[in-house]
Amino acid sequence: MKTTLDINDRLLAEAKALAAQQRSSLTRVIEEALLMRLRANADAAKRPPVRLTVFKGRGGLVAGVNPLSNKALRKALGDDA
């Protein structure tokens, strides 16, 4: 099917260069890119949502450790290298 698209000049130039490099047509390059995008979108929709583990424990911050200091946190962990 023929259609008309407005494509960014720089993007079109890159697509044409890729087509020439691959000894392919611009149409084929655009079709492959569109197909990859559609497949990625479909695959993402099939994936189950990521479940993050939430710590519901008690306690809080360790006394004397500055939670805003990487150096202090590493020292508290025994990793002051």
Nearest to 11 by CA among 30, 28, 25: 30
What is the CA angle 36-40-43, rounded to 5?
A: 140
The answer to whether position 21 is within a domain reads yes
Is pLDDT at 62 greater than 70 in this prediction? yes
pLDDT at 11 over 90: yes
Count other C-beta atoms under 10 Å from residue 12's C-beta: 14
Q: Is residue 67 part of a domain?
A: no
pTM over 0.75: no
Q: In this structure, is residue 37 part of a structural domain? A: yes
Residue 15's domain comprises: 1-55
Give the torsion sign (CA, 38, 39, 42, 43).
negative
**Number of domains forming the structure of the chain:** 1
* pLDDT beyond 80 at 23: yes
| 79 domain-assigned | no
Is residue 62, in this structure, part of any structural domain at all?
no
